[in-house]
Chain A
Amino acid sequence: MSQRSLLFMHRHLADDPLPPGAVAPPPEVAEEDMFSSGYNQDVVKRFLDLIHPYRKTVLIAVLGLMVYTLTQVLFPLIIQKTLDGELGGLSNLSSLEFGILLFALVVLVNFMSHFGMELLVSRVAQRLLFDLRRGMFEHLQRVSLSFMDKTETGRLMSRLQGDVGALQEFLEALVYAIGDLILLFGIIFVLLWMDLRLGAMTLALLPVLLIIRIYWLPIARKAFVRARITSSVVTATMCENIRGIKVVQGMTRERVNRDLYEIKANDHFVATVRAAAIAQIMLPTVDTLTGVAMAIIALVGGSLVLQGELTAGVMIAYILYVQRFFDPIRALTLHYNAFQRAMASGERIFEVLDVPVGITDSPSAQDVGRTSGSVDFEDVTFGYNPQYPVLRQIHLEIPEGKTVALVGPTGCGKSSIASLIHRFYDTFEGQIRIGGHDIRSLTQDSLSRQIAMVLQEPYLFSTSLLENIRYNTASASREDVIRASKIVGAHEFISALPNGYETVVEERGSNLSLGQRQLISFARALVTNAPLLILDEATASIDSKSERLLQEALDRLLENRTALIIAHRLATVRKADQIIVLQDGQIIETGSHGELMELGGLYARLYSLNYASFDDIPEDLIQKLSQTESGLPEHLAGEIPSK
């Protein structure tokens, strides 16, 4: 069933039978990696673009790096010249004295360049990562909401963290790799310069290494990719288990999940061990070649000394150089994995950055200040998929100071109308105006200041209640917050909390009941003091007691306010100035409660069923009612509480 690595003992691999079909990893995790190539020019180019703001620092750092590397190359050379007595006669100092002074000078330069270069490079690298992460995060604030709707948070988070982390590793490796490369060329130059024959013989080993690498690369790439994929599967599984922990425990699924996780963790283990074996095989290869090089020096160099064609000092320098010669090569090989991982991560990061921005301000967009908040829909057609419009040719009007309620069965397009006013999406056809301005002619910032929105599902941030209520309304004072809370009836429970308004909301508001969270999101909308209120009424999650308080609060609130309510409760609907009945994306009835009752259409029939909420009415009944004229079907008689 699962692979076992011969070298290691496992705790115990799933003894219990595993559910069929449960072993396969989430399919979409794997493939995206499989096809990524090792090198992607585009990624490199875009990465260079990111470095652009830091080019001066980078330039200085590169200069520092060159100086540093030069000093590294110089050390053996100075030693050789000193020992061979070639530095004598340049001044009145002896060769040794002069050599030592030179050495000390180079050490000082080495120290300063090393310190400066590394400090600059590390700081730039760190800043690049933060820029990149910030860029991604900022971009996600602007991409279309439909993209966010279909993308899991966990997957985005793994790009924001895991992939940026992989780049960090790469950047650190890159700094050393560049240094290694310069060092390599410096050494090659010096070797050839000191003695052409011996140098050429030593360097002849390089092509051998190159050929080995060519065969090694494809195998290594496959192993590394496999290790990476298994790693992301393990991470994804763990994340999901953490997020759904209450379901897991509630359904006593711990053991099954553990066994499934063990298989994935084991796959990952086997893959990484294999990748390690392939990566490390380069070590003995390089060492063997180093051995060959040293043998050549001992033999050929020795013979040359013997023939008097080479001084002993040069031979010593050669030995010192060759020992360092393969270090950069070895390091470059080991960095290959980090490099490849960085490429894949880079691709995935840029993929996020390339998600088209949903809605942008037009160049002529303006800020119009506070408008009346009135809303007009003219001939609006809209859908999430061009083939299936969910709203067709909608005309509607919310006059200033009036409350309009949208009613209709689930999926009739009520929420879409609310989203369109806020321009979460653009229409296919038609125009929407707020306060007489086409919403596309306003900046998004200006538009959003016209609208206070209450979403159906309240969402709280883990900060104090005070900050939650004045979310993005920096101008609101503590008094404003308290006033709004009092209006929606939240003040009472908030002040009963040990820390009152300073109470910190735990993750997703788990220390508050759903009803309390709802009240807070009401207060939050109130504090913004925007001319238009859009309220997506929650379906029956507040208990009747607070609901009545809320109704009273809403009455007070709506008195002079322009508002659109996606209504579920009859009590709310009845009080609206105008009621719009939607069905299948079209407006079928419009009017006040009285007018609609007189009309005797769908609304009147639904209302006569005496449900507290339109959502309580079964779908099949609505279907029937919208077709027939007659009254109550029998099976519902028992559903309506007797009076």
Chain B
Amino acid sequence: MPSLPPDPYSFAQVISRVVRLSLKNRLQLLVAVIAVVMGALLQLSIPGFLGQAVDQAQALFEEAEAVAEVDPSPLYWTALTLFALSTIRGAFAFTHSFLGEAIAQHMGYELRMQYFEQLSKLSFRYHDHVHTGDLITRGILDIEGIRMFVNTGLLRIFFLLTLLGGGLTLMLRLDLFLSLISLTFVPFLAWRGTIASLSLRRNWLEIQDRLSDLTKVMDENLNGIRVVRAFHAQEHEMAKYDQAAARALSLFDRQIFVRVSNDSFMSFAFLTSMGLVLWFGGQAVASGSMTLGTLTTFLAFMTILQQPVRQIGMLINSFSRASSCGERLFRILDDTDYVQEALQGDAVTQAGPLEFRDVSFRYPGPDQPEVVQKVSFVIQPGQTLGLVGPQGCGKSTLVQLIPRFHEPTSGEVLYNGKPLRSYSLESLRRSISLVQQDTFLFTSSVNNNVLYGNPWASGNDVVSAASQAQLHEHIVKLPKDYDTLIGERGLALSGGQRQRLNISRSLLLGTRILILDDSTSAVDAGTEKKIRESLRDGAEERTTIIISHRIASLMHADQIIYLEHGQIQEQGDHEALLKLGGHYAQLYRLQTLD
């Protein structure tokens, strides 16, 4: 039987991947680990000296009963050693916690960059199916969970192992029986720890999902606040919120219960061992087979071990959190829903015809209909194509095939005689502007928003692009004209202004192919006409595609396609289509109102 490939998101795989990430700074990590180990060893050496001090004091005390004058200098030495050891230990503690934090932050930095780059690469198809709230949560919380792992998980494990291992060795040398007794709590910890770790990890994954749900509820509510208000649906929304919150809270309660009972049992086990040490050690001291100093050493060891025992709970938490956060993040980082790029793509160097040859497209997945069916046409440079048709007929999807936001399922799109796939993606996209109907405004000045696709353009270019889109006059009326800040959703601008800003943004790119996807729907026809006229200047080499429901917007195009159910129904210029007397002619009559 062939063995199955290991699940890349199993606990072990995810953790080992996180560890590998921290190995990017292996030198720093090495120093940190050494500091951790040294710090732990020094900490272990201190009880010995404390015990020594007790024994010395007692020995001197007994000596003093016999002799009048005693030399207390051994005590001085012990005191000095204790002081020195503690100080050095502090230096090690600083080194390891500082380096640990720095490595962790660096890892966070790397992950942040990778995540950012990955999101930029993932295709439209991917982004269409993933909720932005979810992506944001992962980018914030999950990276945080992985980052924290370095200090609270990775380094702490070295600390714990050294303390336990070293403590055991030292104690064994002192007294075998008593040291075994003082470590009776360790197997118990290991057993509890494993169980808790598994259950906490499962729970964490669920908690993260529920928190994402909660985010979604809040995000949608705030974005759709006008609908909520219009329907006075506050109570309905609160009910939705409460439902999502209650689910998250009950998971948190379970999490808390597992964690707290685990912590309590661990500390109980520890204290029980301590009681046993006291019992057997006390008997040994009473019978004279052990000095009081040795017992002190044992008890001091156990006090030192108490802190890490308390931390085992945190350690488990850290591991489970890192593995669940890691899984969620790595799944996105590993996704390869990219647009495939040719290894040595050509640059788009000269204008040429744009051709669709029998192009069909469907979204992946079962039962997905063909959105575009066997579409063929050619547009020459300098020409304009008009696309019209009912809602959902595939117009937008069709034009999104040109910058390769989607890939045709069959057929081929060619530019200048060569398939689009033979061009480098970057060069291809730089030669196309697709102006979409929905405008996203970035929180920045008007100027920076216009500059978005071509940040190096000069101020004059910005003004001329804005003028071409008939926006300049509006901008100069704004409080700080081009420096006016516009918000995330561009609420300060009207729909028409936003669309015009979107157009000027694209015009600034000066591309060979310009696609206007219903991008003047909120612009009045008069202004739209002016925009169209200004676009005509310098358009000798430009291929223009206009999608619109308004016949007046595209009736002057060289070629008009009427699309329905993803198929070309009618094709020709305005006059020809009118003569044909089909859908287009009917639409035209409807819009001229007679």
Contact = CB atoms under 8 A, between A and B. Distances in A.
Closest 4 CB pairs of A and B: A291-B86, A618-B526, A287-B90, A19-B455
Nearest to B453: A251
B36 interface: no
B224 A459 contact: yes
A28 to B, nearest CB: 8
B452 A253 contact: yes
A11 interface: yes
Contact of A298 (B79, B109, B282, B555): B79
A290 B257 CA distance: 35
Contact of A290 (B86, B550, B592): B86
B509 to A, nearest CB: 7
B119 interface: yes
Contacts of A249: 120, 124, 405, 429
B321 to A, nearest CB: 13
Given A110-B267, A291-B87, A424 B275 contact: no
Contact of B57 (A111, A119, A301, A636): A301
Interface string B272-307: 101100110011011000001001100110011001
Contact of B90 (A256, A284, A312): A284
A520 to B, nearest CB: 11
26 contacts: A7-B102, A8-B28, A22-B455, A26-B444, A75-B274, A83-B282, A119-B261, A152-B487, A157-B219, A240-B443, A247-B440, A254-B117, A280-B101, A283-B90, A283-B94, A294-B82, A299-B75, A302-B72, A308-B61, A312-B57, A315-B53, A528-B231, A546-B390, A618-B526, A619-B527, A641-B552
Contacts of A593: none
A235 B524 CA distance: 38
A617 B259 CA distance: 68
Contact of B437 (A157, A253, A447, A514): A514
B225 A83 contact: no
A118 B232 contact: no
Interface in A224-270: 234-236, 238-254, 256-258, 261-262, 265-266, 268-269
A462 B220 contact: yes
Nearest to B389: A543
B223 A250 contact: no
Contacts of A5: 102
Interface in B171-225: 215-216, 218-225
A217 interface: no
Given A161-B140, A639-B529, 5 more contacts: A83-B285, A261-B113, A287-B93, A445-B232, A539-B495
Interface in B91-126: 91, 93-94, 97-98, 101-102, 105-106, 108-110, 112-113, 115-117, 119-121, 124
Contacts of B260: 115, 118-119, 122
A335 to B, nearest CB: 14
A286 to B, nearest CB: 7
Interface of chain A, helix or strand or loop or mixed? helix
Contacts of B299: 79, 316, 320
Interface of chain B, helix or strand or loop or mixed? helix
Interface string A401-431: 0000000001100000000001010000000
Contact of A250 (B76, B94, B242, B434): B434
A154 interface: yes
B227 A104 contact: no
Interface stretch (B7-15, B128-136, B378-386): B128-136
A619 to B, nearest CB: 7
Interface in A563-581: 570-571
A451 to B, nearest CB: 8
A137 B241 contact: yes
A67 interface: no
Contacts of A471: 227, 231, 233, 236
Contact of B509 (A251, A265, A305): A251
Interface stretch (A180-188, A365-373, A479-487, A505-513): A505-513
A241 B132 CA distance: 10
Contact of A616 (B135, B233, B453, B525): B525
Given A242-B119, A493-B392, A618-B524, A115 B261 contact: yes
A247 B452 contact: yes
Interface string A22-60: 100010000000000000000000000000000000000
A350 interface: no
Interface footprint category on A: 35 or more
Interface stretch (A205-213, A339-347, A432-440, A607-615): A607-615
Contacts of A251: 433, 452-453, 505-506, 509
Contact of B496 (A301, A410, A643): A410
Contact of B225 (A114, A148, A299, A312): A148
Interface string B367-395: 10000000000000000000001111000
Nearest to B492: A150
B275 A272 contact: no
B535 interface: no
Nearest to A528: B231
Of listed B219, B227, B242, residue having the most chain A CB within 10 A = B227
B278 A79 contact: yes
B403 interface: yes
Nearest to B264: A115
B98 to A, nearest CB: 5
A22 B526 CA distance: 35
A222 interface: no
Interface stretch (A139-147, A190-198, A388-396, A597-605): A139-147
Contacts of A290: 86
Contacts of A268: 109
B451 interface: yes
A315 B127 contact: no
A599 B23 CA distance: 83
A571 B28 CA distance: 74
A269 B109 contact: yes
Nearest to B100: A276
B325 to A, nearest CB: 14
Contact of A152 (B392, B429, B434, B488): B488
Interface stretch (A123-131, A375-383, A554-562, A582-590): A123-131
A543 to B, nearest CB: 5
A540 B549 contact: yes
Contacts of B113: 11, 258, 261-262, 265
A99 B124 CA distance: 72
A513 B391 contact: yes
Interface string B40-71: 00000010011001101110110010000010
B391 A542 contact: yes
A234 B91 contact: no
Contact of A320 (B303, B552, B591): B303
